[in-house]
A and B are shown apart, each in its own frame.
Chain A
């Protein structure tokens, strides 16, 4: 089955020293490389900071723009991964192994056509 992992940003991205952050990014690169290589991760992207986001709101056929991301800062999305897993347990296990000091991962199945 195919799932999307929505990865939130964590406090670690704002706090701690450059060296500590560097270590986390190192582990992340390794993690993505490993799971891309074994075919679990089909696609993944890191997003720019939430401050760069624009939200377009469509109402009654008209659109307006808001200069902020969709979600509250504490659950701002930092990236996503499209994964192929045999079942939800496997996808949840992968999400739980996401190597960050703090953060949340939403695991959502994809509509397959």
Chain B
């Protein structure tokens, strides 16, 4: 946005963005269910947003922006189906149901659940499942999704288009799976929610460089899954994990919008009520007697949240948890995080050796270079540390992370 924009227009845009985020996903989900067509549903909703962008700056935003957007999308959908031959046979029923769409979808979470499971259908390529859910359910842009995946935007766009086409032409049904097949399809859905949460923490744009709304979206999706599958431990743990990160939110950024590392956070600003709620969820999950990766990750986050300060963190317990995590998820990113724990149990030299072994796999991941920089600095190798920080800086567009790295380089 150019600095010549009047402040009013900027406020209106951020309002539209917020409303869009809250309402568009739900609205799209409802329209997909009724029309059976992703592209058409998304088109209706984005036309309504374009209309809002055109009108609100001069007329001022309406008193209930969500309702305005719904009415606008609804009218466009009605207009469109009347002209589209595909809907001729069932026009009266469809029109009645579109007119009856509720103002807030809080009352019908089923639509979103149905949409998530459709986007995560096993007949779709796993990467496409994640991309499509982020696009259709959460309303992320292809650029944001591309970054979460570390793939080029064009590749991502193609992946989403192909997935939508397959849903339509191969006849993938728009429904949530039956209870007995749900458990088998759940891990993929949880991975999607996890990525949404991840994108919320380390996002590309937004005023503060972090988009709390995305974390809230992820928490909402996780709560939806946990609520509909009360006897599955992993959704409970995923919800706990997200909640533990949300609990530390206020301490994550300093006054200047700069990311504060966990070690330096003011722990009195953590939300203890949220932490208690999350640990209760972890206990509920554990009581079901089936451990899994999200339960381990939530336990790791809980160890951090329960430590009075950084140096009194229970590092040996963390190392045990990371070893368990590595056994179920031997990914390079888990190894990188485990190396940070190693630096506290065995010293920075041991940790650095483990980090450097990951160079081939994580060379394009900014946190690889940032972690390496911190370890090099601990070892007094300041020149190399600065070099690694510069590499990290070149690989992230997140303003909060950039200002942290820039400050570190200036020291």
A interface with B by C-beta (< 8 Å): 1, 3, 85-89, 91-92, 109
Check B173 against A109 for contact (C-beta < 8 Å).
no
User: Which B residues, 347 to 365, have Cβ-Cβ distances below 8 Å to chain A?
Assistant: none
In the complex, what's the smallest C-beta–C-beta distance from A4 to chain B, in angstroms? 12
In the complex, what's the smallest C-beta–C-beta distance from B192 to chain A, in angstroms? 20
Check B123 against A1 for contact (C-beta < 8 Å).
no
Given contact pairs A88-B173, A89-B173, A109-B171, a sample of 17 additional A-B residue pairs in the complex whose CB atoms are under 8 Å apart: A1-B171, A3-B171, A85-B171, A86-B173, A87-B171, A87-B172, A87-B173, A88-B121, A88-B123, A88-B170, A88-B171, A88-B172, A89-B172, A91-B171, A92-B123, A109-B169, A109-B170
Report chain A residues within 8 Å CB of B121.
88
Q: Which residue of A lies closest to B174 (CB)?
A: A87
Cα separation A78 to B123 with both chains bound (whole Å): 23
Cα separation A89 to B124 with both chains bound (whole Å): 12
Report chain A residues within 8 Å CB of B171.
1, 3, 85, 87-88, 91, 109
Give 20 A-B contacts (CB < 8 Å), ordered by A residue. A1-B171, A3-B171, A85-B171, A86-B173, A87-B171, A87-B172, A87-B173, A88-B121, A88-B123, A88-B170, A88-B171, A88-B172, A88-B173, A89-B172, A89-B173, A91-B171, A92-B123, A109-B169, A109-B170, A109-B171
Cα separation A109 to B123 with both chains bound (whole Å): 13
Report chain B residues within 8 Å CB of A91.
171
In the complex, what's the smallest C-beta–C-beta distance from A84 to chain B, in angstroms? 11
Task: Count B-side interface residues using an 8 Å CB cutoff.
Answer: 7
Report B165-187 CB contacts with A as 1/0, cut-off 8 Å. Answer: 00001111100000000000000
User: Which B residues, 110 to 151, have Cβ-Cβ distances below 8 Å to chain A?
Assistant: 121, 123
In the complex, what's the smallest C-beta–C-beta distance from A106 to chain B, in angstroms? 12
Q: Classify the interface of chain B: helix, strand, loop or mixed.
A: loop
Report chain A residues within 8 Å CB of B173.
86-89
User: Which B residues, 150 to 170, have Cβ-Cβ distances below 8 Å to chain A?
Assistant: 169-170
B interface with A by C-beta (< 8 Å): 121, 123, 169-173
Cα separation A11 to B170 with both chains bound (whole Å): 29
Q: Which residue of B lies closest to A93 (CB)?
A: B181
In the complex, what's the smallest C-beta–C-beta distance from A66 to chain B, in angstroms? 31
Q: Which residue of B lies closest to A111 (CB)?
A: B169
Report chain A residues within 8 Å CB of B172.
87-89
Q: Which residue of B lies closest to A89 (CB)?
A: B173
In the complex, what's the smallest C-beta–C-beta distance from A108 to chain B, in angstroms? 8
Report chain A residues within 8 Å CB of B170.
88, 109
Q: Which residue of A lies closest to B172 (CB)?
A: A88
**Of listed B121, B123, B171, residue having the most chain A CB within 10 A:** B171
Cα separation A89 to B123 with both chains bound (whole Å): 9
Report chain B residues within 8 Å CB of A3.
171
**Of listed A87, A88, A92, residue having the most chain B CB within 10 A:** A88
**Of listed B121, B169, B170, B173, residue having the most chain A CB within 10 A:** B170
In the complex, what's the smallest C-beta–C-beta distance from B167 to chain A, in angstroms? 9
